Amino acid sequence: MAGLIIVGSLLAGCSSPDIGTTPGDVRVRPADDPRVGSHPDANSKQGILLDDGFDGNTLGASTWNTCHWWQDRGCTIVTNNELEWYLPQQVQVSDGALHMTAERSEISASNGRDYAFASGMVTTGPPAHDMPSKLQFTYGKVEVRFQVPSGRGLWPAIWLLPASEDSRPEIDMLEVTGEDTGRLIMHLHPKDRSAPSIRKDYFLPEGRSLADGWHTISLDWSPNKLTYLLDGKQVWQVLGKQVPDEPMYLVMNLAVGGDYPGNPDKNTTFPAVFKIDRVRILGNS
């Protein structure tokens, strides 16, 4: 997420654990309706690490966490002064989709701060400090079919973080500010903290919105190359040595307020829901 430094009570002095890959027990499902969004090539020779269509009514605990690894009865990212505290109950699976719901609440959190909103997130990373990621990979393709909510102060995101528990490198596949759902924001924050972050804004055709119907964001990650696609159309490419070359994991969340993107106003409707219909991760064969 743009410009954020991940900190938690456990971050100082962290060492990189010896992390293995555990793709979990999510079953492969048939392709979704081919008329909507873009879908993986059924003849791909890449190995399927994850294909979760969120059927049923439970989240796959062997694949997904509902907080960052520094969780303590919930979590947030304090450096952006966000207003949400992430809680497991804000993540639900129903009607063939994952629902991450932000709603007004009064929370006295374990970090000693009070929060005005509860919200939801999921990650395939470490469930706690110095534990292995549930699913990590180096290079491959990530595809997520999604629908974002609209409203000032809402900040849905889909991004990758390093399995080492560091905050860099960071690959932001998708960020959307709720007052401007016609704009897709993408970032690369290189591992080298002296190097500048790279940003691309892609504007949908006039009158179109990522909050209207389902869309698919895709990332093709290979040595020295990142290719971003929205609904099958290439919208950005990053080339060069700043492209990450280490194991990373997936994060999806609905943040609320803070220094970026600003706080909700009276016109923002709650509950607000960030919906995920499908996640597919293909590793390099």
Average pLDDT over residues 19-28: 27
Higher-pLDDT residue of 136 and 2 is: 136
Q: What is the DSSP letter of 209?
A: -
Task: Tell me how far apart the alpha carbons of residues 281 and 140 are, in angstroms, rounded to a whole number.
Answer: 7
Task: Tell me how far apart the alpha carbons of residues 228 and 238 are, in angstroms, rounded to a whole number.
Answer: 9
Average pLDDT over residues 220-237: 98
Is residue 56 included in any domain, yes or no? yes
Average pLDDT over residues 134-141: 97
Sign of CA pseudo-dihedral 180, 183, 184, 190: negative
- The answer, yes or no, to whether residue 11 has pLDDT greater than 50, is no
Share of the chain above pLDDT 90, in %: 82
Mean pLDDT of the chain, nearest integer: 87
Pick from 276, 261, 274: nearest CA to 148: 274
Task: Report CA dihedral (100, 103, 109, 114) to the nearest 10 degrees.
Answer: 140
Q: What is the CATH number of the domain that holds 244?
A: 2.60.120.200
Q: What is the 3-state secondary structure (H, E, C) of 23-56?
A: CCCCCCCCCCCCCCCCCCCCCCCCEEEEEECCCC
Give the model's pLDDT for residue 1.
67
How many C-beta atoms surround the C-beta of residue 34 within 10 A?
Answer: 8
Task: Report CA dihedral (149, 275, 211, 251) to the nearest 10 degrees.
Answer: 80
Is residue 252 included in any domain, yes or no? yes
- The answer, yes or no, to whether residue 29 has pLDDT greater than 90, is no
What's the pTM value of the predicted model, to 2 decimals?
A: 0.86
Is residue 9 included in any domain, yes or no? no
Is residue 68 included in any domain, yes or no? yes
3-class DSSP state for residue 258?
coil
Q: What is the domain range of residue 170?
A: 47-283
Count of structural domains within the chain: 1
CA distances from 71 to 4, 54, 65, 241 (A): 17, 24, 10, 33
- The answer, yes or no, to whether residue 19 has pLDDT greater than 80, is no
How many CA atoms does the CB half-sphere of 181 hold within 13 Å?
A: 23
Tens digits of residue pLDDT in 162-184: 999 999 999 999 999 999 999 99
Pick from 86, 80, 81: nearest CA to 101: 86
